[in-house]
Every structure is written in structure tokens, then in C-alpha cells.
């Protein structure tokens, strides 16, 4: 009798576990495009406008350094032209070389200043962008979670990322499960009424190409070319 009772209890226990497992709701998976939400966020527009202003200031400083370098090179070229005179005495040539040497050194210092400024500016801009993105994704994640909970989702997948082989990590998703636009609408509710129109995206200043400054009076190729205006 005891053996029969034990078997019944065990069977009921197994049955209860199965019923509990089957009672769990099926997972509801939604998708969202985080990159699109970040790009169209009103705070991103404001940040891009600030970056554009700071980029313009940085370019002005770069142009100033370039003009200083060009003036030095013009002076060096003038000395070079004088040195080509075959009628110059040895003392005169030696004097020109003495004049040329400090200018070549000054040009090298100016070139170093230009390269350092470009690299430093690029690094600062990249850090600002990285910090901003980190803060923004925290804010966006919170709103995505709110929308997902309202829709009874158990999992939300970002479809904007790429896989290790360079293709979309999410191969296919039914548009009905995409909450990107709903999240954007929720974010838009917090947009200030006096928010200016969206500004153009800002490009980071490119690092300067390395170049060697030579002190030879026979060759002093221009190093301070105007900064590129291409975007």
C-alpha cells in the first residue's frame, strides 16, 4: 500500500511540474533600431550643433598655424633663391646658411605644433562623442524598456548591429514586432518646444600626415598646405 501511495505522489509531483512549465507564457520578442533612434534624437541634434561650432573654432586655429608655417617657408624659399646666385662669396653663402638653419628649425616646431593640435583635437572630439553616446544609450534603453513592458515583451533585440562576418546580425524580423517608431514618438514627447531645427552632422578633423622637415638649403618642399575642406 505504501509503495502504491508513494508512486501516486511521485506521479502527481511530476505532473504538477509539467503543468507549471506549460503554464509559462511563450516569449514575446521585439526588435528596435538603436542607431536610428540615437541619430534622430533631439539631444543628438543639439550635440551635433555644438560639435560643429567647436569644429569651426578648431579649424580656425589650424588655419592660423598653417599660415604661420607658410610664412616661414616663404622666408626659407627667399633664402634659397639668394643662395643660387653664383656670384656669392663663400662668406655670403655661409651667412645665408646661418639664416636658413633657425628658420628650418622653426618650421619643424610649427609642423610639430600643427600635428599635435590636430591629433589632440581629434582625440578630444572622439572622447566627447563616446561619452555622449554612452549617456544617450542609457536614456534610450530606459524608454525602450518602458515601451517593451507595455507591449508585454520578454526580450528586445537591437537590429542595427552587424555580425562578425559583416552582415546584419538580425537576418529577418516581422515589421509588426519593430518598436523603433514607437520609441521615437516617446522620445519626441520630451523635445523642448524651442528646440532649433536639426543641424548638419559634424566630421572630426583628420589627423595630419607625418612629414620630415629638412634643413638643407637645397630642398625645402612646402609642408604647410591649407587644411582640406572636404567633408
Residues 228, 96: Cα–Cα separation, whole Å: 34
pLDDT at 9 over 70: no
pLDDT on residue 132: 97
Q: Taking 70 as the threshold, does the pLDDT of residue 171 lie above it?
A: yes
Give the number of other CB atoms < 10 A from CB of residue 76. 21
Dihedral (C-alpha) 185, 189, 193, 196: value to the nearest 10 degrees? Answer: -40
* 8 Å CB contact between 61 and 187: no
- CA dihedral 7→9→14→15, nearest 10 degrees, is 110
| Higher-pLDDT residue of 174, 222 | 174
| pTM flag (> 0.75) | no
In angstroms, the Cα distances linking 89 to 51, 86, 96, 102 are 57, 8, 11, 21
Q: What is the pLDDT of residues 148-160, one digit of tens each?
A: 999 999 999 999 9
pLDDT reported for residue 13: 55
Cell of 139: 536614456
Query: CB of 143 within 8 A of CB of 186?
Result: yes
In the chain, how long is the greatest CA-to-CA distance?
130
Contact present, 120 and 68 (Cβ < 8 Å) = no
> How confident is residue 174, by pLDDT bands cut at 50, 70 and 90?
very high
Q: Closest by alpha carbon to 45, among 216, 231, 197?
A: 197
Is pLDDT of 214 > 50? Answer: no
Among 10-19, 63-72, 182-191, the range scoring the smallest mean pLDDT is 10-19
pLDDT of 16 reads 53
What is the per-residue pLDDT for 190? 92
91 Cβ partners below 8 Å, 6+ apart? none
Given this model, what pLDDT does residue 165 score?
84
pLDDT digits (tens, 9 = 90+) for 96-155: 999 999 999 999 999 999 999 999 999 999 999 999 999 999 999 999 999 999 999 999
pLDDT band at 229 (very low <50, low <70, confident <90, very high): very low
Amino acid at each position: 500500500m505504501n509503495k502504491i501511495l508513494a508512486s501516486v505522489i511521485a506521479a502527481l509531483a511530476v505532473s504538477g511540474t509539467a503543468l507549471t512549465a506549460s503554464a509559462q507564457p511563450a516569449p514575446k520578442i521585439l526588435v528596435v533600431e538603436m542607431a536610428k533612434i540615437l541619430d534622430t534624437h533631439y539631444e543628438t541634434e543639439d550635440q551635433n550643433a555644438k560639435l560643429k561650432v567647436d569644429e569651426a573654432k578648431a579649424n580656425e586655429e589650424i588655419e592660423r598655424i598653417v599660415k604661420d608655417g607658410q610664412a616661414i617657408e616663404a622666408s626659407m624659399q627667399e633664402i634659397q633663391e639668394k643662395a643660387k646666385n653664383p656670384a656669392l662669396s663663400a662668406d655670403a653663402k655661409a651667412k645665408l646658411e646661418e639664416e636658413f638653419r633657425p628658420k628650418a628649425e622653426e618650421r619643424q616646431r610649427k609642423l610639430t605644433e600643427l600635428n599635435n593640435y590636430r591629433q589632440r583635437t581629434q582625440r578630444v572630439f572622439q572622447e566627447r562623442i563616446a561619452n555622449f553616446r554612452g549617456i544617450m544609450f542609457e536614456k534610450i534603453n530606459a524608454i525602450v524598456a518602458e515601451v517593451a513592458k507595455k507591449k508585454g515583451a520578454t526580450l528586445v533585440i537591437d537590429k542595427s548591429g552587424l555580425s562578425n562576418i559583416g552582415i546584419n546580425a538580425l537576418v529577418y524580423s516581422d515589421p509588426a514586432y519593430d518598436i523603433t517608431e514607437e520609441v521615437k514618438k516617446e522620445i519626441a514627447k520630451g523635445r523642448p518646444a524651442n528646440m532649433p531645427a536639426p543641424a548638419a552632422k559634424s566630421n572630426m578633423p583628420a589627423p595630419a600626415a607625418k612629414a620630415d622637415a629638412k634643413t638643407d638649403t637645397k630642398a625645402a618642399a612646402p609642408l604647410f598646405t591649407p587644411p582640406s575642406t572636404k567633408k
